[in-house]
Amino acid sequence: MLTTKNELKLNKLRKRLRRETGRAIEDYKMIEANDRVMVCLSGGKDSYTLLDILLNLRLNAPISFEIIAVNLDQKQPDYPTDILPNYLKQLDIPFYIVEKDTYQIVKQHIPEGKTMCSLCSRLRRGSLYGFAEKIGATKIALGHHRDDIIETLFLNMFHGGRMKAMPAKLLSDDKKNIVIRPLAYCREKDIERYAALKQFPIIPCNLCGSQENLQRQIIKDMLQTWDKKHPGRLENIFRSTQYITTSHLADHDLFDFKTLQTSNTESTRLNIVEVY
């Protein structure tokens, strides 16, 4: 039972998250009339918040759309299989628990001590894409937030040599699925506070959460330090991904540097010489 003080905090956070999520949905046209939105629920704070805010927004949305919750049970050791079904039954929405033993595949292919996240996420994504087609979902909603997007930007720059982040809306490579990230404008610290106040039944990830020295965590620590020392810096970094000037970068595939010419013609230059 929440105290009055915590109830006020919860309402304030809900309004902020609703506003930012609604703005992201509108900016990128993430959800349209009669969409079947498959919300991927991992049991973490982000996906719980995503589902909660989307259900809240749907109450007053000007369009009608369906929400279907889907959890991928990857057969991790000691995974509590009852928590999500019990939670979802209370919400009275359609949901599926998809069982796919990606855990053993990851353990077979990734040596001890190496980061498992990359292969795990690819296998998870493939399974979810296939299931979305099976149930006729028109959009796949993931719980990535603003901080995830910024972290990915720096990970790709520092370790991949590419200026690439997570798009708020993505067409899959096979052109069969559209992935949306409605929490793209939301801050992780707001989501953390919201999840704590809502008392979501969080399920920890025993596969990757226990790995030390993950590069993403190093980037996260760096960004959190910046956020404390330089308020507003993360907002500006995220905003920079929305306002890109290709002529001031160096990608010759995006901007034609080779054929750049001045507007001065040969005759114009000659006329200037004659005047002098």
Per the structure block, which two tokens stand in for 112? Answer: 């001890």
pLDDT at 210: 46
User: For residue 149, which amino acid is it?
Assistant: I
pLDDT at 150: 98
Give 63-77 pLDDT, tens digit per residue.
Answer: 999 999 999 887 777
Give 148-178 pLDDT, tens digit per residue.
Answer: 999 999 999 999 999 999 999 999 988 999 9
What mean pLDDT value characterizes the chain? 88
Q: Among 1-5, 20-24, 49-53, 209-213, where is mean pLDDT lowest?
A: 209-213
Please give the model's pTM, rounded to 2 decimal places: 0.87
Give 135-152 pLDDT, tens digit per residue.
Answer: 999 999 999 999 999 999
Per the structure block, which two tokens stand in for 151? Answer: 């972290």
pLDDT at 87: 95
Domains of the chain from N-terminus onward: 4-248 (3.40.50.620)
CA distance 120 to 98: 15
pLDDT at 20: 98
CA distance 19 to 13: 10
